[in-house]
């Protein structure tokens, strides 16, 4: 149980030192606040030791009675806060005593305000994809509260470590999120909590003892044979042909979804080698990327010259929504007998490994084409295949064999 101390003391009037105003001082864990009782007393009639007015006059008894009433009222306010399970601070005890209603800040209110501000900053400080992820996180948070508490919102002061633990459990079980997805949604939620803490809308951080870890997953990409099979597959459906072509284009350029969706003709220039190059600033990292267009990619560009959707939207390829692209790519992967679910980002992985690194393109060059901010990011994407290992070891075997004969 929290303890507090209460002290009545006189404060001399500025223009009359013979008279003092009686103040009430509340101290809780070293922090204090003061409230004027509005009552005045002769400075000489105040007992510092007892904290009361001296004398037996009717006025003295009346003042002391009023002070005791104030003490009792304050104790009643203290117990009310305690019974409500609220943290007792000088500020909220003072507000309760004075009848001041505290502003109630709710989680969804803060979350929506954050997302609205983020939306206004799309293209300046945030990408549309980042905003969309926070919108998804908001929906998960709302669904969790309805599932767990049958409520649509909650006072931020009522969010505790148990709330965070239950939310993570919900994401992993009811939503069936992978470890990394669950951790990312919790991190988004934690940003909203930090906003509340920074604004002093809540005093305790429910994440103080929370620990989570992103688990590194193997990057999946298409091998030479898988890519060839996908390129040569005959599709009856036009939608699958279009999605396959766009995906293959990105396998030979390394462009992410948002960058291919925004790719226009003016971003394709004649390079220093006389060939066509893609010159863009990556949406995610704001880093410039320079990519020579290989023959396989150029053939796809030519295939869609004059395509109605491209003309109407001023793009080089008729890119669908990311959700639709991934949905159709799963279907394409099944038809091409690829043993894992390919997504649009698989094309970027394939460019970094199968197309470039495994064909001897230096890591630094690949990093520049991918628009990475540092080499470590490229190393995450670039996984060396057995083919490259076999080629390198064959060279080593030949060197060792020649050395042996020389001896």
- pLDDT tens readout for residues 116-143: 999 999 888 888 888 999 999 999 999 9
Domain shared by 92 and 115, yes or no = no
**What average pLDDT does the segment 30-45 reach?**
89
Looking at 70, 98, 126, the residue that finishes a domain is 98
Number of domains present in the structure of the chain: 3
Residue 3 scores a pLDDT above 80: no
In a domain, 267, yes or no: yes
Domain shared by 188 and 234, yes or no = no
Domain shared by 30 and 94, yes or no = yes
DSSP code of residue 155: B
- How many Å apart are CA 304 and CA 318, to the nearest integer? 8
Q: Tell me, what's the pLDDT at 385?
A: 59
Domain shared by 119 and 181, yes or no = yes
Judged by DSSP in three states, 216 sits in: coil
Q: For 161-170, 189-198, 199-208, which range has the lowest pLDDT when averaged over its residues? A: 199-208
Domain shared by 93 and 111, yes or no = no
Indicate the pLDDT class of residue 84, thresholds 50, 70 and 90.
confident
Domain shared by 375 and 272, yes or no = yes
Concatenated DSSP letters for 267-320?
A: GEEE-TTSSEEEEEE-TTT--EEEEE--HHHHHHHHHTTT-HHHHHHT-SS---
Domain shared by 78 and 116, yes or no = no
For residue 194, what are the domain limits? 107-198
Domain shared by 236 and 141, yes or no = no
Q: How far is CA 189 from the centre of its chain?
A: 7
In a domain, 397, yes or no: no
- pLDDT tens readout for residues 296-309: 999 999 999 989 99
In a domain, 209, yes or no: no
- pLDDT tens readout for residues 354-394: 999 888 888 889 988 988 888 877 877 666 655 666 777 78
Question: CATH no. for residue 382?
Answer: 1.10.443.10
In a domain, 407, yes or no: no
Domain shared by 258 and 131, yes or no = no
In a domain, 205, yes or no: no
Q: Other C-beta atoms within 10 Å of 122: how many?
A: 14
Residue 1 scores a pLDDT above 60: no
Domain shared by 174 and 278, yes or no = no
Looking at 198, 232, 267, the residue that finishes a domain is 198
Domain shared by 23 and 138, yes or no = no
| Helix, strand, coil percentages in the chain from 3-state DSSP, rounded to 5 | 55, 15, 35
Q: Tell me, what's the pLDDT at 138?
A: 97
Q: Is the dihedral of CA 353, 358, 364, 368 positive or negative?
A: negative
Looking at 65, 98, 131, the residue that finishes a domain is 98
In a domain, 353, yes or no: yes
How would you class 381 by CB atoms within 10 Å of its CB: exposed for 0-12, middle for 13-18, buried for 19 or more? buried
Residue 152 scores a pLDDT above 70: yes
In a domain, 210, yes or no: no
Q: Which two tokens stand for residue 379?
A: 């190393």
Q: Tell me, what's the pLDDT at 363?
A: 87
Q: For 89-98, 321-330, 377-386, which range has the lowest pLDDT when averaged over its residues? A: 377-386
Judged by DSSP in three states, 8 sits in: strand
Contact 384, 392 (CB under 8 A): no
- pLDDT tens readout for residues 233-274: 999 999 999 999 999 999 999 999 989 999 999 999 998 888
**What average pLDDT does the segment 306-318 reach?**
92
Q: Tell me, what's the pLDDT at 316?
A: 94
In a domain, 212, yes or no: no
Domain shared by 320 and 363, yes or no = yes
Indicate the pLDDT class of residue 224, thresholds 50, 70 and 90.
very high
**What average pLDDT does the segment 295-324 reach?**
92
């Amino acid at each position: 149980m929290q303890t507090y101390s209460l002290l009545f003391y006189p404060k001399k009037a500025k223009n009359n030192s013979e008279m003092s105003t009686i103040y009430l001082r509340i101290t809780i864990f070293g922090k204090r606040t003061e409230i004027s009782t509005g009552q005045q007393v002769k400075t000489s009639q105040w007992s510092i030791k007892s904290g009361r007015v001296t004398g037996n006059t009717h006025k003295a008894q009346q003042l002391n009675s009023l002070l005791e009433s104030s003490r009792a009222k304050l104790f009643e306010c203290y117990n009310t806060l305690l019974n409500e399970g609220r943290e007792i601070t000088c500020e909220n005890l003072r507000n309760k005593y004075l009848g001041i209603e505290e502003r109630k800040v709710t989680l969804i209110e803060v979350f929506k305000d954050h997302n609205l501000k983020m939306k206004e900053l799309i293209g300046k400080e945030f990408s549309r994809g980042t905003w969309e992820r926070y919108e998804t996180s908001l929906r998960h948070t709302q669904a969790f509260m309805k599932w767990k508490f049958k409520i649509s919102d909650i006072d931020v002061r009522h969010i505790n470590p148990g709330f965070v633990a239950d939310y993570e459990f919900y994401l992993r079980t009811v939503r069936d999120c992978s470890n990394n997805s669950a951790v990312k949604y919790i991190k988004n939620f934690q940003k909203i909590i930090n906003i509340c803490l920074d604004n002093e809308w809540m005093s305790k951080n429910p994440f103080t003892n929370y620990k989570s870890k992103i688990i590194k997953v193997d990057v999946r990409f298409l091998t030479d044979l898988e890519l060839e099979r996908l390129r040569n597959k005959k599709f009856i459906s036009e939608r699958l042909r279009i999605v396959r072509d766009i995906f293959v284009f990105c396998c030979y350029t390394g462009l992410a979804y948002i960058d291919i969706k925004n790719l226009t003709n003016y971003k394709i220039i004649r390079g220093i080698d006389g060939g066509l190059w893609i010159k863009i600033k990556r949406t995610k990292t704001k880093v410039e990327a320079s990519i020579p267009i290989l023959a396989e990619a150029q053939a796809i560009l030519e295939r869609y010259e004059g395509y109605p959707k491209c003309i109407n939207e001023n793009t080089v390829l008729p890119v669908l929504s990311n959700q639709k692209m991934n949905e159709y790519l799963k279907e394409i992967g099944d038809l091409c007998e690829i043993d894992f679910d390919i997504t649009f980002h698989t094309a970027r992985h394939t460019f970094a490994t199968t197309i470039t690194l495994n064909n001897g393109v230096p890591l630094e060059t690949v990093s520049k084409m991918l628009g990475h901010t540092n080499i470590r990011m490229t190393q995450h994407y670039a996984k060396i295949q057995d083919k490259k290992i076999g080629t390198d070891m064959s060279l080593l075997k030949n060197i060792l064999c020649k050395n042996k004969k020389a001896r």
